[in-house]
Amino acid sequence: MLSKNVHGYTVRYQKKARKGVEHLAYVLSYNEANSLFQSALNTSRKIKFEDRAGRNFTLKRKGIAKFSLKKRKGW
């Protein structure tokens, strides 16, 4: 399991979800990425999103400022 700090949040992920972490860290603006993290913290714990290439991911809260990211089936 790999780990990366993305906008102040610790994200744990497997190698196949690397593109999702890169999307959160480098493609989305701080505000766009932060809204996904805040939604996972405040509403449902799991947030589904896709990157601009159409790959599907799930961001899941694991604690305060800690998340896991998994690639879902699809592209």
6-58 pLDDT per residue, tens: 999 999 999 999 999 999 999 999 999 999 999 999 876 899 999 999 999 99
pTM beyond 0.85 = yes
Average pLDDT over residues 58-70: 93
Count the residues in the chain: 75
Tokens of 12: 């744990």
Name the burial class of residue 57, with classes exposed (0-12), middle (13-18) and buried (19+) by CB atoms within 10 angstroms of its CB: buried
Name the burial class of residue 6, with classes exposed (0-12), middle (13-18) and buried (19+) by CB atoms within 10 angstroms of its CB: buried
Q: Which helix (H) or strand (E) holds 62?
A: strand 56-63
